[in-house]
Amino acid sequence: MTSFNFILELGVEEIPASYFGPALTFLVNRITKDLGAMGLPFDKLKTWSGPRRLALGIWGLSDRQLDLTEEIIGPPLTSAFDANGNHTKAALGFAKGQEVSVSDLFTLNTPKGPYLAVRKSREGRPTALALTETVPKILEALPFPKVMRWGEGDYQFVRPVHWLLAVFAGEILPITFCGIRAGKVSYGHRFLHPGPVVVVTPDEYPSRLAETHVLADYEERKNLVKQEIVKAAALNADLVVNADEDLVAEVANLLEEPVAILGHFDSHFLELPAAVATTAMKERQRYFPVTDDQGRQAPYFVAVNNTRATDLDVVRKGHERVLRARLEDARFYFQEDRKVKLADRMEDLKGVVFHHLLGTSWDKVQRFKELAKNLAAQTNPDQKSVVARAADLCKCDLVSGVVGEFPTLQGLMGYEYALADGEDPIVAKAILEHYLPIRAGGELPTTAAGAILSVADKLDTIVGCFGVGLLPTGAADPFGLRRQALGIILIILDQKWTWSLEDYVEKALLGLGSLVKTPAKEVRQKTLEFFKTRLKSHLLALGVAPDTAEAVLGLYGDKPPAAVGRALALEDLKRAEGFRDLAQTFKRVVNIIKKFGYRDEDPPIALLTHPAETDLLRAAEVIKEDGSELIRQGDYPGLLNQVATLKGPVDLFFDQVLVDDPNPDLKNARVALLAKVSQVFELAADFSKVSAV
């Protein structure tokens, strides 16, 4: 079969560097999904990007869609016919909606039971027509944090659109987007080759762009940035460049032809804390800091340009002049900050609004200070005074000049100022660490005080936001509650704390008092479900199956170490020979309890005289006692293995004893015995939710 290729490029004004990743991921996922739904398989797909372009190439498309036959499911059979065997309104409505006769409907057996369905065939259309219809819709749906309008039209996109290239099988697709009609023309480097360049296939796209000083492949561009900065730093043999991966990725999205240059700044700026100068370079100018061969900050930096200038000295001096102004500002703020002790800034927090519904930063500190002291008393009593002092000081740098200029230095400047003021180094370290982790997979607090303070601060934020209705919705999470909840979970796991999240959600609620506008019961429930969702995501990332996660979260979702330990142990047990029979036995116990119910949690021993009954009761009591000790030790594999030994006594009980005895008292006693057995199962998990059996 003959195959054809497709090339798409959208040319725009410079897009912010952070926007590319989500947009390209969406583009790949959406086009793959749409092509599959349209019956258009392909061989290969690749994206390219640059500050002024987003591009996509697809290889191996046929000239027509596949002819498709699909089965469309309608109402379940139970609601499709009435008592007389006639079609109901649900069945008739389904047929009408699918534009078929009820005689065309058939019964389809599904995992959920029999349903009415209809089989419909669709003749494939030309691929060019299918692409023409779907590509503009995909471009319109590209996700960007912000969009803008331009000109006199009503177009909205991340930046003004200047050109659109869309070619399938050598022919231009009749597509229009944001008022721009598609063609075969792209454009090169804004300064080095601003003219047009014709592109008709994805194979030639990278090479044709390279001729115009545009390196279209992001990974190649990123590698070139690394090579350039290393080469620039190597001009001085004693220097080592800090090739920060995040900064490399950002710079690679800002440039089309990277060229690095080594610059210098006055040595007296090294008197600043290293993080201040580094932040001024990286965040304000996208420069790469440089150290000497001993790892100490050196008065040099590497800047990456988008053009190879004729006179690099002129470019270097320009970079040095700009950075000097930044560092002068930073030094001024730092010197002014040092005139006031960190502790003397506490009152100033009363003028900093955390959120208009949740009070000032001073109010917030008072709340999570009490929460942290309570947590310290439970987990690390010897750290209580350290935690209290660190809580008082941890937000004071928010009103400092340096943090006002460089907000990402919050916490770090508090650490620097606390040390300079003679505070206990442990207090200073807790101030630094209470913001951790600042991103997914980020560094966790290394001190108990820092961990306690971090959890208390984050928990106050989460419960406070839920209490006043500031809940995350879809992809929108302006207060970073998902990240903070996961951070709390990871800290608890790292510290191996065994206390209940539910208890501390309740304490945080009490601390918020009258600020909470939503009923406390609802806040508590939604907050705990929020944590369980984050914990489930963490379990899935660890390779735990969804049914295993559900089996432990329903019982232990507010105790992360208990949930994770049980889930991993259960996953191991599921791989063991005989687990299917074991789970079926446990499920049988649960089903019988649900069927008959039970009234007596402490079955009268006198009625349970059959050896199978007394042996099962004895085994359950022994395993419950031993299991409690294993839980205390955190030996969850041992716990699961111990619980699994109940299978034999339970099977023997079912073989030799009739639960539904004519004697109601005896029946109740036997059901209650099974309830005791079920409680032993639940030391490990809710086996009724384990579906992979």
**Average pLDDT rounded to a whole number, residues 487-511:** 95
Scan for tokens 């596949």, then name that residue. Answer: 66
Residues in the chain: 693
For residue 122, what are the contacts with CB-CB under 8 A and spacing of at least 6? 39, 67, 68, 69, 70
Assess if residue 16 is contained within a domain.
yes
* Predicted confidence (pLDDT) at residue 544 exceeds the cutoff of 50: yes
| Lowest mean pLDDT segment, chosen from 248-252, 348-352, 655-659 | 655-659
Q: Which of the listed residues 182, 210, 238 is the one where a domain comes to its end?
A: 210
User: How much is the pLDDT for 413?
Assistant: 96
Residue 456 lies in a domain: yes
Same domain, 96 and 26: no
Amino acid symbol at 108: L
More confident residue, 54 or 119: 54
**What share of the chain has pLDDT > 70, as a percent?**
98
152 occurs within a structural domain: yes
Supply the mean pLDDT for the chain. Answer: 91
- Distance from C-alpha of 431 to C-alpha of 416, rounded to nearest angstrom: 10
Q: Is 136 domain-assigned? A: yes
Query: Is residue 142 located within the same domain as residue 116?
Result: no
Average pLDDT over residues 571-580: 86
In a shared domain, residues 378 and 500: yes
Are 514 and 385 members of one domain? yes
DSSP bridge pairs for 290: 241
- Bridge partners of 259? 305
Cβ(356)–Cβ(515) below 8 Å: no
What average pLDDT does this structure show over 64-86? 83
375 and 482 together in one domain = yes
Give me 41's structure tokens.
């398989």
User: Are residues 496 and 453 located together in one domain of the fold?
Assistant: yes
CA distance to 5, 181, 224, 463, 603, per residue, from 11 (Å): 20, 12, 23, 44, 76
For residues 201 and 167, give the distance between their C-alpha atoms in angstroms, rounded to a whole number.
Answer: 7
Q: Give the angle subtended at the CA of 232 by the CAs of 231 and 235, to the nearest 5°.
A: 90
Tell me, yes or no, whether 416 and 477 share the same domain: yes
Q: Is residue 547 part of a domain?
A: no
- What three-state secondary structure class fits 180? strand
Task: Dump pLDDT digits (tens) for 12-27.
Answer: 999 999 999 999 999 9
The DSSP code for 102 is G
What SS3 state is found at 426? helix
Question: How does residue 99 score in pLDDT terms, banded at 50, 70 and 90?
Answer: confident
pLDDT tens digits for 624-649?
999 889 998 999 999 999 999 989 99
CA-closest candidate to residue 258, choices 288, 299, 297: 288
Which pLDDT band, with edges at 50, 70 and 90, does 693 fall under? very low
- Containing 568, the helix (H) or strand (E) segment is helix 560-574
> Token digits for 130?
């299918």
Are 643 and 623 in contact, with CB atoms under 8 Å apart?
yes
Mean pLDDT value of segment 349-362: 95
DSSP at 682: T
DSSP secondary structure letters along 428-462: HHHHHHTT---STTPPPP-SHHHHHHHHHHHHHHH
Q: 57 and 202 in contact (C-beta within 8 Å)?
A: yes
Q: Which of 337, 352, 376 is the last residue of a domain?
A: 337
Would you state the pLDDT for residue 143?
A: 93
Whole-angstrom Cα distance, residue 212 to residue 214? 6
User: Which residue's entry shows tokens 């001729």?
Assistant: 211
- Beta bridge mates, 301: 263, 289
Phi, psi of 227 (to 5 degrees): -60, -40
DSSP assignment letter at 41: -
Is the pLDDT at 599 greater than 70, yes or no?
Answer: no
The more confidently predicted of residues 406 and 604 is: 406
Whether residue 559 is contained in a domain is answered as: no
Asked whether residue 172 falls in the same domain as residue 190, the answer is yes
CA distances from 141 to 159, 201, 439, 536 (A): 14, 25, 27, 29
DSSP string spanning 105-126?
A: -EEEEETTEEEEEEEEEEPPPB
pLDDT at 432 exceeding the cut of 50: yes
- The Cα 41–Cα 502 span in angstroms is 50
In 3D, which of 179, 150, 177, 155 has the Cα closest to residue 166?
A: 177
Q: How many domains does the chain have?
A: 5
- Cβ-contact 257, 204 below 8 angstroms: no
Tokens linked to 293: 């061969």
Q: What are phi and psi of 206, to 5 degrees?
A: -60, -40
Helices and strands per DSSP (H, E), number in the chain:
25, 18
Q: Is 307 helix (H, G, I), strand (E, B) or coil?
A: coil
**Residue type at 453?**
L
Identity of the amino acid at 600: D
The answer on 679 and 621 residing in a single domain is: yes
Domain of 88 in residue numbering reads as 70-122
Domain boundary residue, one of 273, 303, 337: 337
Mean pLDDT across 415-433: 97
d(CA 385, CA 503): 22
Distances (CA, A) of 639 to 34, 258, 553, 626, 682: 48, 58, 17, 8, 11
Q: What are phi and psi of 148, to 5 degrees?
A: -145, 165
Q: Is the pLDDT at 471 greater than 80, yes or no?
A: yes
Q: Is the pLDDT of residue 570 over 60?
A: yes
253-311: pLDDT as tens digits: 999 999 999 999 999 999 999 999 999 999 989 999 999 988 899 999 999 999 887 88
Is pLDDT of 378 > 80? yes
Residues 56 and 138: their CA atoms lie apart, in Å, by 12
Residue 553 lies in a domain: no
pLDDT for residue 512 is more than 50: yes
| 114 and 134 share one domain | no
User: In this predicted structure, which of 244-258, 294-308, 592-606 has the lowest mean pLDDT?
Assistant: 592-606
Do 534 and 472 fall into the same domain?
yes
d(CA 391, CA 371) in angstroms, rounded, equals 10
Are residue 580 and residue 503 in the same domain, yes or no?
no
Q: What pTM did the predictor assign?
A: 0.80
The mean-pLDDT minimum among 427-431, 482-486, 689-693 falls in: 689-693
Sign of the CA dihedral with 177 first, then 182, 188, and 190 last: negative
Contact 444, 458 (CB under 8 A): no
Q: Is the pLDDT of residue 395 over 50?
A: yes
Query: Does some domain include residue 48?
Result: yes
Whether 609 shows a pLDDT value over 80: the answer reads yes
Is residue 82 classed exposed, middle or buried when 0-12, 13-18 and 19+ CB atoms within 10 A define those classes? exposed
